[in-house]
A and B are shown apart, each in its own frame.
Chain A
Amino acid sequence: MRRRVRGPVVAAALAAAAALCALANVLAYGDIPAGVVADVLAGERSGQQAQIMWTLRFPQAATALLVGAALGVAGLVLQLVLRNPLAAPELTGVNPGAVLGLLLALVLGLTDAASAAGALTAALVGGLAGGALTWLLAREHDSAQLVVYGLLCSALLTGLTTMLLAYQPSRFGNALRWLVGSVEGRTWDHLAVAGPWIAVALGCVWLGSAALGVLGAGDDHAAALGLPAARARGVALAGAVALAAGAVALAGAVAFVGLVVPHLARAAAGSDPRFGVPAAAALGAAAVTGADALAQLGSRWLAAEVDGQRLGLPTGVVTAVLGAAALVLVVRRGGRGAAMERTAT
């Protein structure tokens, strides 16, 4: 009974937090008064400040929101369906595969960086291939070994990515942008393709979240309720890959969001995916926008206090540092639960 009240309230609170983080993200530069945001939202586009706001800062904030929501939900789906608390897009070969697919398509000239649809397709193909590789290798082992095989695949794919990045460094600029992810420099053109894609995929996952809950309870349970477990699992995994690929096409492999956010979402909204999915989306969005605001503050501090020749902090670095800390907490708290889940499978 307590949970029924808790779910929607928590989801609403998290959505509000995400909106606040987006605002913080827009204002993190500190050079434009907050009132301009209201003007731009009201339709005001003239004036230099409003222009900067509308063409640079708003797309960046929207990218962060979308990427966070996509990665958070992708991680939740993977963890539920694979029944492994460490199954995340970056540990199952999906994110590294998507990055490799994207860079490979750019190097081979199959698409160019300006084409948002091409980038999305390449990331999608790569993400599917990376996930499929992990699944092929790990399918005969139990779900506990899955992450280890997934990690090996991820390291293999990252090795190939590194080779590409070193082969044509001038072409990709800052390699970290791809390896740890960054939401900087995205425009409305990029969002026009990947935005609806992520939004539709999120909607589909949410509509299917009841089935996800059944699937998460076990194959026998699903079969007893008339759900074809194998097919449902395939569809759910495809949805997770679609979300992760959309995020990678927008921002590269933003690390640790898909790993940590689902645990936080479950702690906040309970284990029912009908509440867990919106909570993971809102929490992921808040996490990435918040991390981006911190990254911008950090970059400005480095440029001002250390020297102007330093690189900027990519968003993914902040999520990685905070995520690493959160991971330790999750592991400490969830170790016993994880062990129980493993024995249950």
Chain B
Amino acid sequence: MSGRTLTGRADEAVAGAARSRGEVPTLLAAGGMFALLLGLGAVALSLGEPVIGVHRLPAVLAEGDGLAYVVLWELRLPRLIVAVLAGAAVAVAGLLMQEALRNPLAVPELLGVSGGASLVMAMIVVWGLPVPLGLHPAAALGGALAGGAVCLAAARLGRGAESVLLIGAAASTAVQALTLAVLSTASRLQYDSLFRYLVGSLTRMTWEHVAQLLPWTLLAVPLTLLAMPVLGLLRLGDDAAASLGVRVGWARLGLIALAALLVAGVVGPCGPIAWVGFLAPLLARRLRPSADARGWLPWTALIGALVTLGADQAARLVFAPVETPLGAWTAVVGIGTGLVLLRRSARPAPAAAEEVAR
């Protein structure tokens, strides 16, 4: 795969390789995805109770008054924006971790990053710790970093990345169990909404939540772009990257910290939107088999937004009027589809992962 990266950037060569591989042309893929995004956006804005026809959306927004306007402007639009931003953020976090540890199963959910953030948020909300709303993502970031650090330390990062996954996975289960433990001390009145939040839910998202999410996403974009060249070098293998002047251990830690930043920004307002970071990079890789991390990044973000938005529509509408937690849907869809994809491409993939995992 490293060879492919090196043959790299000449557009004609890439296009030729794409054609010979039966790769979907970029324009078609991008167009299709934006169409899908628009379609899902229309569903998100118009369906539900009350139904607002797509043709009426601009008129209702312009109206600036009435029930339909309030539902659209105060409830559905912020929710749509949060879904897109949050989905893209967790998807990119997944890509970063998978690339840093070079294993398709290295995702925030399995390495304690999501779990740590959720645990801290659970403690704040359930025990009513005096943390101002604006600092929630910062607290979640602390939890995410601590969770990731505990899992990686338990797995002894230095001693081989294979055991990182195994023991990190077990340790992250422990962190999740601790979150449920905190939840069990909640009062009866809070319990239902807390349970939803801790599974991951976009119910009652407002512009305030958008404002809460936006700075973190904006902060993460330049950092992610800065990290891209390092990802490309890491793909060459540890020795080659080291000989090119990359301090591999620190680079890996930095990438995981960046992933924690992305995840924490989302867990603060929405709760964990689980397993999107597992599925989206896998899909992006299948869409663009000959690209490298830089090429996968925009697709990962786009697919993450699509998956989250789609799952949120399912959460809103499938069992209406009961709303099911978004996190449960993304878990089922993300893991289910991801497992099928992994199994299909499994024969070379785990071998490659283990080979580079040394």
Chain A residues near B165 (CB-CB < 8 A): 148
The CA-CA distance from A255 to B332 in the complex, in Å, is 21
Q: Give the docked Cα–Cα distance between A323 and B105 (Å).
A: 25
Bound CA–CA A90/B169 (angstroms): 12
Residues of B within 8 A of A151 (CB): 110, 169-170, 173
- Given that A140-B346, A335-B163, A335-B167 are known contacts, is A159 also in contact with B328, CB under 8 Å in the complex? yes
Residue A137 is within 8 A (CB to CB) of chain B in the complex: yes
Q: Does A311 touch B at the CB level, under 8 Å? A: yes
Q: What residues on A are CB-neighbors of B336 within 8 Å?
A: 156
Give the shortest distance, in Å, between B204 (CB) and chain A (any CB).
15
Asked whether A328 is an interface residue with its Cβ less than 8 Å from the other chain, the reply is yes
Flag B175-214 by CB within 8 Å of A: 1 or 0 each. Answer: 1011011011111110110011001000000000000000
Contact call A317/B322, Cβ cutoff below 8 A: no
Pick the contact of A152: B180, B185, B339 (CB < 8 A). Answer: B339
Given A163-B329, A331-B154; A148-B105 close (CB under 8 Å): yes
Whole-angstrom distance between the alpha carbons of A162 and B109 in the complex?
16
Q: Which residues of B contact A140 (CB under 8 A)?
A: 346
Residues of B within 8 A of A338 (CB): 163
Q: Which of A176, A309, A324 contacts B178 (CB 8 A)?
A: A324
Known contacts A175-B195, A311-B188: A156-B335 contact under CB 8 Å: yes
> What is the chain B residue whose CB lies nearest that of A339?
B163
CA distance A312 to B166 in the complex (A): 33
Find out whether the CB atom of B331 lies under 8 angstroms from the CB atom of A324. Answer: no
- For the complex, what is the distance from the CA of A135 to the CA of B186, rounded to whole Å? 37
B23 at the interface (CB under 8 A from A): no
Contact between chains at B335 and A327 (CB < 8 Å): no
B256 contacts chain A at the CB level, 8 A cutoff: no
Chain A residues near B189 (CB, 8 Å)? 309
Q: Which residues of A contact B181 (CB under 8 A)?
A: 180, 313, 317, 320-321
Interface hub of A91, A141, A148 (most chain B Cβ within 10 A)? A148
| Total A-B Cβ pairs within 8 A | 148
- Choose one: A149, A166, A309; the contact of B325 (CB below 8 Å): A166
Q: Which residue of B lies closest to A177 (CB)?
A: B184
Contacts of B331 in A (CB 8 A): 155-156, 158-159, 162
A327 touches B171 (CB 8 A): yes
Q: Is B46 an interface residue (CB 8 A)?
A: no
A327→B186 contact, CB < 8 A = no
Q: How far is the CA of A317 from the CA of B185 in the complex (A)?
A: 10
Number of chain A residues whose Cβ lies closer than 8 Å to a Cβ of chain B:
54
A167 to B329, CA, bound (A): 12
Given contacts A145-B350, A156-B335, A180-B180, contact A90 B173 (CB under 8 A): yes
Q: Of residues 37 to 89 in B, which have CB atoms within 8 Å of A's CB atoms?
A: none
Shortest CB-to-CB span from A64 to chain B, Å, is 17
**Interface size range on B against A:** 35 or more
Q: List the A side residues contacting B327 at CB < 8 Å.
A: 159, 162
| Chain A proximity of B152: nearest CB distance (Å) | 12
Assembly CA distance A86 to B163 (angstroms):
11
Residues of chain B within 8 A (CB-CB) of A160 are 328, 332
A163/B177 in contact, CB under 8 A: no
The yes or no answer to B238 lying at the interface (CB within 8 A) is no
A327 touches B178 (CB 8 A): no
Query: Is there an interface contact between A256 and B325, defined as CB atoms closer than 8 Å?
Result: no
Among B292-342, those with CB < 8 Å from A are 319, 322-325, 327-329, 331-332, 335-336, 338-339
Q: A61 at interface (Cβ–Cβ under 8 A)? A: no
Q: Taking the complex as formed, is B343 at the interface, i.e. its CB lies under 8 A from any CB of chain A?
A: yes
B156 at the interface (CB under 8 A from A): yes
Residue on A nearest B336 in the bound complex, by CB:
A156
Within 8 A of A (CB), among B84-134: 105, 109-110
Judge whether B225 is part of the interface by a CB distance below 8 angstroms: no
Which chain B residue lies CB-closest to A259? B170
Looking at the assembled complex, report how far the CB atom of A288 sits from the nearest CB atom of chain B, in whole angstroms. Answer: 15
Residue among B171, B183, B188, B335 making CB contact with A155, cutoff 8 Å: B335
Distance to closest chain A CB from B216 (angstroms):
25
- Report the Cα distance A166→B336, complex, angstroms: 20
A163:B166 contact, CB within 8 angstroms: no
Contacting residue for B343 out of A86, A137, A155, A331, CB 8 A: A137
A147 contact from B170, B322, B332, Cβ within 8 A: B170
A3 near B: Cβ within 8 Å?
Answer: no
CB of B30 within 8 A of chain A? Answer: no
A323 neighbours in B (Cβ, 8 Å): 174, 177
Q: Is the CB of A155 within 8 A of B174?
A: no
A169 interfacial contact with B, CB 8 Å: yes
Q: Once the chains bind, are B177 and A256 in contact (CB under 8 Å)?
A: yes
Q: Is A144 an interface residue (CB 8 A)?
A: yes
Report B122 CB to chain A, min CB distance, Å: 12
Q: Which residues of A contact B184 (CB under 8 A)?
A: 176, 180, 311-314, 317
What is the CA–CA distance of A256 and B181 in the complex, to the nearest angstrom?
A: 13
**B105, B170, B171, B322: the one within 8 Å of A167 (CB):** B322
**Chain B residue with minimal CB distance to A149?**
B339
- Measured between beta carbons, the chain A residues less than 8 angstroms from B346 are 140-141
Question: What is the minimal beta-carbon distance from A92 to any residue of chain B, in angstroms?
Answer: 12
Distance between Cα atoms of A311 and B191 in the complex (Å): 9
User: What does the 1/0 interface line of A158-201 toward B look like (CB < 8 Å)?
Assistant: 11101100111100001110011000000000000000000000
* A302 at interface by CB-CB < 8 Å: yes
Closest B residue by C-beta to A165: B195
* Alpha-carbon distance A168/B324, docked complex (angstroms): 10
**Interchain CB contact under 8 A, B332 and A310:** no
Tell whether, in the assembled complex, residue A163 and residue B174 are in contact, meaning their CB atoms are under 8 Å apart. no
Given contacts A147-B169, A331-B154, A331-B171, 16 further A-B contacts (CB under 8 A): A91-B170, A140-B346, A141-B350, A147-B170, A152-B105, A152-B339, A156-B336, A159-B328, A160-B332, A166-B325, A169-B192, A311-B191, A313-B181, A313-B185, A323-B177, A327-B171
Counting from the closest, the 7 A-B pairs by CB-CB distance are A159-B331, A320-B177, A324-B174, A162-B328, A156-B335, A317-B181, A163-B328
Which residues of B are at the interface with A, using a C-beta cutoff of 8 A? 105, 109-110, 154-156, 162-163, 165-167, 169-171, 173-175, 177-178, 180-181, 183-189, 191-192, 195-196, 199, 274-275, 319, 322-325, 327-329, 331-332, 335-336, 338-339, 343, 346, 350
